[in-house]
A and B are shown apart, each in its own frame.
Chain A
Amino acid sequence: MTGARVLLMMGCPEIPIQTSIALYLSHKLTNLGFDVTVAGTTAASKLLKVSDSDGYYVKKLVDLDKTIVDIIEKRMDFDICFAFMHNDAGMTYATTMSSISQARMYSIVFGRNAEALAETIEFDCVKIVSQDVHNPVRIKNKLDKVMEEIIK
């Protein structure tokens, strides 16, 4: 899978662990040889940019809506997509991505209502679910296992 194009799709940054997990995942996957792009809303991207002002962890940061348009218009696509979601809108965006992209989908579902939200996902994906809001460790550990599976 080395060289595979990976999209990290960030939604509303209201839940704190999204930013830290996006930074962690981007850095980890980049070091494993993946071509990682992080897409976010304006607010999510600003949080990421301030946290990683020299672009050490995130090499490519793009606008989420523009990325969706580029995929629909077949100007780009990805092999793997990690979609962050903690609300219905995040799930709606991820469902759209699963419809328009060829990428294998991984849904990172977090926040207090994570379990119930995960049950509403109808598209084919691997679900990484944790009810955490502030502590990213549990979801980080789950993602470590997922990454081990991906690089097997």
Chain B
Amino acid sequence: MSCIEQMKYTIHLQRTSFKDAREYIEKNSDEVYYVSPGYKIFKDYYIIGIPPIAVGAKGNAFIFPYTKPCYGSFVLSIDNEDSIKEIDRLRETKGKETSSLKKDKPSESSKVTTTSYKDLWKK
């Protein structure tokens, strides 16, 4: 169990596909950054995901995807001192590297193949 499950978090989306989780984060964050699979957050959670993995900031809340093998993907947010640190870290590193603020970066989600699987899976 990662530390995420022991933290106070908000569930924005649950049991969905990773693609839907990414789109939710892109649409509902003030700032969006893209990280690689395995990007480490909150000391011991390594993000599972399909590149490009979107993570976001909304106020002081850090928004990110969380995937569980039996339950699908979730969008969670955490709003505390640690989330501010995570957002600052992204602003310092990713902001400089990729200009990945939402307004500057076109959505890369179009690269993801869209098939009927998502709908099948939801049934």
Which A positions have Cβ atoms within 8 angstroms of B? 11-12, 14, 41, 43-44, 64-65, 68-69, 72, 87-93, 95-96, 99-100, 113, 116-117, 119-120, 122
Contact A120 B115 (CB under 8 A): yes
Contact residues in B for A89 (Cβ distance below 8 Å): 18, 67-73
Residue numbers in A under 8 Å from B111 (CB-CB) = 122
Report chain B residues within 8 Å CB of A87.
Answer: 72, 121
CA distance A64 to B29 in the complex (A): 30
Interface residues of B in 32-53 (CB under 8 A from A): 36-38, 40, 44, 46, 48-51
Quick one: which of A93, A95, A96, A116 contacts B116, CB cutoff 8 A?
A116
Q: Which residues of A contact B49 (CB under 8 A)?
A: 92, 95-96
In whole angstroms, how far apart are the Cα atoms of A95 and B111 in the complex? 14
Q: Are A96 and B38 in contact (CB under 8 A)?
A: yes
Chain B residues with CB under 8 Å of chain A are 2, 17-19, 36-38, 40, 44, 46, 48-51, 67-73, 111-113, 115-118, 120-121
Q: How far is the CB of B94 from chain A (nearest CB, A)?
A: 17
Contact A68 B38 (CB under 8 A): yes
Taking a contact as CB atoms closer than 8 A, the residue among A69, A91, A119 that contacts B46 in the complex is A69
Give chain A nearest CB distance to B48 CB in angstroms: 5
In the assembled complex, the Cα of A113 lies from the Cα of B71 at a distance in Å of 16
Cβ B69 vs Cβ A41 within 8 A: yes
7 tightest A-B CB contacts, nearest first: A116-B117, A12-B70, A96-B37, A99-B37, A72-B38, A88-B17, A11-B69
